[in-house]
Amino acid sequence: MRIDKYLSNLKYGSRSEVRTFIKNGLVKVNNKVINDSHFKIDPNKDLIHFDNEEIIYFDELNIMLNKPCGYLSANKDDLHKVAIDLIKEPYNRYDLKIAGRLDLNSSGILLLTTNGKLAHILTSPNSKIDKEYEVVIDKSINNYNDLLKGVIIKDGKNNDYLAKALKINKINDKTFHIVINEGKFHQVRRMFLYLGANVLKLKRVRYGNLTLGDLKEGEYKLFKREDVLWQS
């Protein structure tokens, strides 16, 4: 890959700006100053510095973010804060795609990846990846096991849809853990609404084999695809 394309792809500047930086001696490859913007590099092997700072390169970058409420699962929005804004250097230089979105008022595991195929796999209903949610509702209910049998809700196109829980555990009168392997429009909220309860808080605590653990809201960590795709 040409060094100017590499640096512009990582958002160090436009192609013309990067060429100026290179001409001015701000770029080193394997500890040698490079003045030729056509210089070919292998980002997986070469040591590259920009303005005396080492550039960390990822052939594939996968991030698990603990999204707080109040952030959209989006890269850009004119009205709300977006989850991508929580990602800092050097990871924010990569074009991250969001897999398995959470709505504005939900929190928990949000997966980001530079791999478009992986993003599709993670969100496709055909993948049948388990997702576990912690749910707080507005009143006590006794009919929660009906969700294991399945209830009819509306999907994103307002069509009837049979939604089933794989598992459901009662934590206390108003708190439950529910596992599903699909992700229809506001599915968990609509499932509890069918039972006559409004969801006050919704947090995704597990995605495949990835668990939230002690990751605080707004924090993130890297993961490997096998961490989420392999299931027992």
Phi-psi label, residue 116: left if phi above 0, alpha if psi -120 to 50, beta otherwise: alpha
Q: Which residues are catalytic?
A: 103
Phi-psi label, residue 30: left if phi above 0, alpha if psi -120 to 50, beta otherwise: left
Closest CA to 29 of 2, 11, 58, 61: 2
Instruction: Give the residue carrying structure tokens 């961490």.
Output: 227
Token duo for residue 203: 């947090």
Rounded (10°) CA dihedral 173, 177, 181, 184: 50
